[in-house]
Structure 1
Amino acid sequence: MPEVTHRVRGTVNGEPFDEAVDSRMTLADFLREKLRLTGTHLGCEHGVCGACTVIVDGAATRACLMLAVQVDGAAVETVEGLAADGELAPLQQAFKRNHALQCGFCTPGFLMSVTAALREDTVRDETEAREVLSGNICRCTGYTGLIQSVLDVAKGRSDA
């Protein structure tokens, strides 16, 4: 069976891309293999763990479940786009300050899920922070640091 390719154009982290992709390539594989953005991690490849979460046109999206051809014309954001001019984003700083990571494998997915939720202003208390975090799985640590980081940024703390 011959490989079928499609032209896909859009932006990733504000930078334009124009690539030919196999019609069956996932967005996660496209980001990692074609664009060499390896911050998007593949864990379960079934949309359960959340490690591959990116933002597509403003919405948190599992990159392992979306085909690359589906982002034609879309704006995609990955963890690589969070830091600006060498400075960590406030959420990344809060994760660091609150020890909200261990091995780091799940961290990009958490960061992208929370970033999307914070933009939608859907996190105002611990219950809502837990709800946002519930779509991602960390196997190494407790969630106390994660919850505190989300609350720090959501509440606009000056040290966040």
Structure 2
Amino acid sequence: MPDAHAQQVAVEVTVNGTRRRAAVPPRLTLADYLRERCGLTGTHLGCEHGVCGACTVLIDGDAVRACLVLAVQADGAEVTTVEGIAAPDGELSPVQAAFRDHHGLQCGFCTPGFVVSVTAFLRDHPDPTDEEIRDGLSGNLCRCTGYQGILKAVRAAADGAAAAPKEHA
């Protein structure tokens, strides 16, 4: 019987705009792949059960828990981590700037997951109510902030997006 630990599966994933190919064990999580193979340590591992949201990334635009997805499941997908949220020149995204400006972080451990989740949330809900914001944040846990700064940051990012000039198609 072949050694299950020796088995490797070829995957090709586009991470933050860069195509990456690797041979990975079938049970390697996407979070571990991103951290260990890609060197993208902004994807944090908290609970490793999909509860805390610290490992949230975008897969083909959808916010998902990278600790619950196997790297082989992301084969062929476009993955965006917190490192890919800022502009290529390093300018912070509106969500990142709002978290900075409105004290939406303290220790910073949960912040990458919040930034990714909020980025997807505001794309789908550009003018959310406060209740929708609270509901949209319910999948991310923070032990430091008491959430008030986070809520202010999301509101500011939403208000900034609403005030920004619309691009013409």
Q: Tell me how far apart the structure 1 counterparts of residues 153 and 72 of structure 2 sit (CA, whole Å).
A: 34
Question: Is 2:57 the counterpart of 1:54?
Answer: yes
> What is the match of residue 19 of structure 1?
22
Per-residue deviation, 1:153: 1.5
After the TM superposition, which residues 117-128 of structure 1 pair with which residues of structure 2 at under 5 Å, given as runs?
117-121=121-125, 123-128=127-132
> What is the match of residue 167 of structure 2?
none
Per-residue deviation, 1:68: 0.2
Q: Tell me how far apart the structure 1 counterparts of residues 146 and 122 of structure 2 sit (CA, whole Å).
A: 21
After the TM superposition, which residues 73-112 of structure 1 pair with which residues of structure 2 at under 5 Å, given as runs?
73-84=76-87, 85-112=89-116
Q: Is the 2:94–2:160 contact (alpha carbons within 8 Å) kept by the matching residues of 1? A: no
> What is the match of residue 129 of structure 1?
133
Q: 1:142 aligns with which of 142, 146, 153?
A: 146
Identity %: 60
Q: Which moved more, 1:25-34 or 1:2-11?
A: 2-11
TM-score (norm 1): 0.95
Per-residue deviation, 1:122: 5.8
Question: Is 2:43 the counterpart of 1:33?
Answer: no
Instruction: Spell out, residue by residue over 1:47-101, the C-alpha distance to the aligned partner (whole angstroms, 9 max, x if none).
Output: 0000000000111000000000000110000000111112111111000010000
Q: State how many pairs are aligned.
A: 159
Per-residue deviation, 1:156: 2.4
When the two chains are superposed, the root-mean-square deviation of aligned CA atoms in Å is: 1.4
Q: Tell me how far apart the structure 2 counterparts of residues 122 and 55 of structure 1 sit (CA, whole Å).
A: 17
Q: Is the 2:26–2:72 contact (alpha carbons within 8 Å) kept by the matching residues of 1? A: yes
Instruction: Spell out, residue by residue over 1:19-43, the C-alpha distance to the aligned partner (whole angstroms, 9 max, x if none).
Output: 1111010000000000000000000
Q: Is the 1:123–1:129 contact (alpha carbons within 8 Å) kept by the matching residues of 2? A: no
Per-residue deviation, 1:123: 5.0
Q: Which moved more, 1:121-130 or 1:9-18?
A: 121-130
Per-residue deviation, 1:138: 0.3
2:30 maps to amino acid? L
Q: 1:6 aligns with which of 1, 5, 9?
A: 9
> What is the match of residue 46 of structure 2?
43
1:79 maps to amino acid? V
Are the structure 2 counterparts of residues 66 and 96 from structure 1 closer, same or farther at C-alpha, using a change threshold of 3 Å?
Answer: same
